[in-house]
Amino acid sequence: MNFWIKNSLYLLLLLVAGCREQEKETIQWDKDKSTELGKGIAENEDIDIELFIDQHEKLDFQATGSGLRIAFLKHGDGQKAERGMTAEVRHKISLLDGTVCYQSELDRNDFFKIDREDIESGVQEAIKLMRVGDKCKLIIPSHLAHGLVGDLDKIPPLSVLVVDMELIALK
């Protein structure tokens, strides 16, 4: 057989053998795997959050049991926020890298009903720690923000949020 034909046939045989679909390994997904994935995400986020805090060492962040971090920038002396009240706030929501996702209009504050509206659970938790006149910076892990999918607009999936918030009034 001709050298070129023989080598071409050999090469073709290798390509065909290499292109055969290999058996796919089936992964059984269960509660333990979900828990393991969640812990891995939380650990990675904690590292990113601690790096952010280290870069902002002048702020005194306190952690809550849920993983929310809050630093008060100004203490007000007004009424304490409670469930069912309507909060009037000014806010700016950013990613850890500083990318601004949302913020209050310059001439208009935002309103939401405490524990009664579809607002990030981290914001709901934080507002109940505040008094009228308080200004704070929050670091909200993804599980207290928009989780696995983001907000399908400006906040990407699995995003830790930094929220600057001022409680203007309560009704």
Judged against a pLDDT cut of 60, whether residue 13 lies above it is answered with no
pLDDT at 116: 87
Distance of CA 91 to the CA centre of its chain: 16
Give the domain ranges of the chain: 60-171
pLDDT at 65: 95
Going by the DSSP 8-state scheme, the letter that residue 143 receives in this structure is: G
Judged against a pLDDT cut of 80, whether residue 15 lies above it is answered with no
**Mean pLDDT over all residues of the chain?**
88
**65-87 per-position pLDDT tens digit:** 999 999 999 999 999 999 999 99
pLDDT at 32: 86
Judged against a pLDDT cut of 60, whether residue 11 lies above it is answered with no
**31-66 per-position pLDDT tens digit:** 888 888 888 989 999 999 999 999 999 999 999 999
Compute the average pLDDT of residues 139-162.
Answer: 94
60-171 CATH, one of 3.10.50.40, 3.40.50.970, 3.10.520.10, 3.40.50.300: 3.10.50.40
CA-based nearest residue to 166, from 93, 110, 91: 91
For residue 29, the tally of other CB atoms under 10 A from its CB is 8
Tokens of 163: 């929220």
Q: d(Cα 132, Cα 82) in Å, to the nearest integer?
A: 11
* pLDDT interval class at 23 (50, 70, 90): low
Residue 30 burial (C-beta neighbours within 10 Å; 0-12, 13-18, 19+):
exposed
